[in-house]
């Protein structure tokens, strides 16, 4: 994520429908902010369109080069060479936060109908000040490679995984000054990027009944901390309020295993960042990543159909106070014509976020000889959460 990604301003909320505005905010400013000094296990970010289309499930089913992220043990379950590039993003707009920011930006403080203007201003303030009104963002992008030597499998990725979000840090206040109605407050941004170079190794035992894998990561952690004054009727250029990023380097270790007792079922588990990598925090002090543990199961009722489920075994803190992450992901994939076409559906829910319902997802993949193109996405029509992903790959 570079500073070029930060040229998003509040005016983008004026020109597009509410959710599209929020998606644009995600795509252009995934690494929107910084992290407080604390120990935390960040959200388990969905990586790749196949997992996206299947509700964010990937621990037990990913055997291509994206297994370097999902579960390194998956690398040894197939003997292929795989090269792919992918990008994925997720936004959760809780309690209409993004739309209310737009309403505040559109607010006319000099409306001659002062009583109506006061009522509108108080409504905006109440919506932004309500508990749980936040905007969460996360995303990933990178280049992933996989190879093998017999039962030994190897992988490498150069990637960026970012989490962040925004919330009201100074309550929105409404005051009347002569003929004008003023709406004022402040918004804070927090975020953490993990720019990483990862190396994975996996080995399969007993004719691929069982495999284990490990990933070692060199991580450049980039912590952001910023804030912006909010004033009704006045757009805010967020790119001027991020502050200087704090950059430090640490090392991370992931381990995983897959057990396949028969041709129709397999189980997977992965533990990420088990050594608790620590980075410098933008607000001073350190930020330590606690381990994430996720389990998965996959069923193949017949060779072309896959049913899968993932669940976070750990409850993960996020960069937003009071918001935790523990996802349940469910998905299915049906392939046709020797994987020329793959259709996927799924759903996911943050079990620690009562305001978020199950979010439906879908995706498809096309294969032409050794080349593949995949897309996936999801949308929450109630809380306005959205996820999008795409990849191009070559598999031999």
Is it the case that residue 128 has pLDDT exceeding 70?
yes
Those residues with Cβ within 8 angstroms of residue 18's Cβ, 6 or more apart along the chain or in another chain: 93, 96, 98, 99, 102, 384
Please state, in angstroms and as integers, the Cα–Cα distance from residue 20 to each residue in 78, 83, 168, 190, 209, following that order: 39, 31, 21, 22, 45
Of 236 and 206, more confident: 206
Mean pLDDT confidence for 292-307: 97
Question: Which helix (H) or strand (E) segment is 367 a member of?
Answer: strand 359-368
Residue 145's Cα: distance from chain center in Å? 21
User: Residue 79: inside a domain, yes or no?
Assistant: yes
User: Residue 355: inside a domain, yes or no?
Assistant: no
Containing structural domain, residue 18: 3-38+63-302
User: Residue 203: inside a domain, yes or no?
Assistant: yes
User: Residue 43: inside a domain, yes or no?
Assistant: no
User: Residue 315: inside a domain, yes or no?
Assistant: no
The per-residue pLDDT for 22 is 36
Mean predicted lDDT score pLDDT of the chain? 87
Q: Which of 223, 65, 211, 216 is nearest to 144 (CA)?
A: 65
User: Residue 184: inside a domain, yes or no?
Assistant: yes
Q: Which of 18, 131, 56 is nearest to 384 (CA)?
A: 18
Contact between 16 and 175 (Cβ < 8 Å): no
The per-residue pLDDT for 122 is 94
Please state, in angstroms and as integers, the Cα–Cα distance from residue 396 to each residue in 36, 145, 370, 390, following that order: 44, 12, 6, 20
Q: Which of 248, 178, 246, 187 is nearest to 219 (CA)?
A: 248
Q: Positive or negative CA dihedral for 239, 240, 242, 248?
A: positive
The count of structural domains within the chain is 1
Mean pLDDT confidence for 107-112: 91
pLDDT winner (highest mean) among 84-88, 161-165, 167-171, 312-316: 84-88
Edge-to-edge strands of the sheet including 286-289? 38-40, 286-289, 278-280
Mean pLDDT confidence for 328-352: 96
Mean pLDDT confidence for 83-94: 93
pTM score: 0.86
Residue 307's Cα: distance from chain center in Å? 22
> Nearest 5°: phi and psi at 327?
-90, 145
Q: Which residue has the tokens 């500073």?
A: 3
Mean pLDDT confidence for 207-235: 92
Distance (Å, rounded) from C-alpha 380 to C-alpha 297?
25
Those residues with Cβ within 8 angstroms of residue 194's Cβ, 6 or more apart along the chain or in another chain: 160, 161, 162, 219, 220, 221
User: Residue 287: inside a domain, yes or no?
Assistant: yes
Q: Name the DSSP class of 244.
A: P
Partners of 288 in the beta sheet? 39, 278
Distance (Å, rounded) from C-alpha 83 to C-alpha 76?
15
User: Residue 166: inside a domain, yes or no?
Assistant: yes
Q: What SS3 class is residue 143?
A: strand
């Amino acid at each position: 994520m570079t500073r070029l990604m930060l040229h998003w301003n509040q005016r983008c909320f004026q020109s597009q429908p509410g959710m599209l505005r929020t998606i644009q905010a995600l795509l252009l400013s995934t690494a929107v902010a910084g992290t407080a000094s604390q120990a935390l296990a960040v959200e388990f970010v969905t990586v790749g369109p196949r997992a996206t289309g299947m509700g964010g499930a990937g621990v037990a089913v990913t055997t291509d080069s994206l297994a370097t992220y999902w579960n390194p043990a998956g690398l040894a379950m197939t003997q292929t060479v795989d090269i792919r590039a992918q990008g994925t993003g997720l936004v959760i707009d809780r309690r209409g936060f993004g739309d209310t920011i737009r309403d505040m930006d559109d607010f006319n403080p000099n409306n001659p109908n002062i009583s109506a203007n006061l009522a509108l201003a108080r409504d905006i303030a109440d919506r932004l000040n309500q508990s749980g009104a936040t905007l969460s963002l996360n995303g990933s992008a990178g280049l992933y490679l996989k190879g093998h030597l017999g039962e030994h499998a190897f992988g490498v990725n150069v990637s960026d995984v970012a989490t962040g979000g925004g919330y009201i840090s100074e309550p929105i206040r409404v005051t009347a000054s002569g003929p004008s109605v003023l709406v004022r407050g402040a918004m804070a941004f927090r975020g953490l990027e993990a720019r990483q170079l990862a190396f994975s190794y996996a080995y399969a035992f007993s004719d691929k009944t069982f495999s284990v894998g490990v990933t070692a990561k060199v991580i450049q952690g980039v912590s952001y901390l910023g804030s912006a004054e909010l004033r009704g009727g006045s757009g805010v250029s967020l790119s001027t309020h991020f502050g200087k990023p704090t950059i430090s380097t640490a090392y991370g270790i992931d381990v995983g295993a897959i057990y396949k007792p028969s041709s129709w079922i397999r189980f997977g588990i992965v533990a990420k960042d088990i050594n608790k990598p620590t980075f410098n925090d933008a607000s001073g002090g350190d930020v330590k990543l606690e381990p994430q543990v996720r389990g998965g199961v996959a069923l193949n009722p017949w060779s072309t159909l896959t049913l899968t489920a993932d669940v976070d075994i750990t409850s993960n803190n996020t960069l937003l106070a009071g918001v935790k992450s523990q996802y349940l992901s469910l998905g299915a994939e049906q392939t046709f014509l020797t994987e020329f076409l793959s259709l996927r559906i799924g759903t996911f829910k943050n079990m620690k976020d009562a305001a978020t319902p199950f979010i439906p997802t879908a995706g498809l993949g096309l294969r032409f000889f050794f080349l593949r193109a995949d897309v996936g996405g999801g949308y929450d029509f109630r809380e306005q959460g959205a996820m999008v992903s795409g990849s191009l790959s070559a598999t031999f």
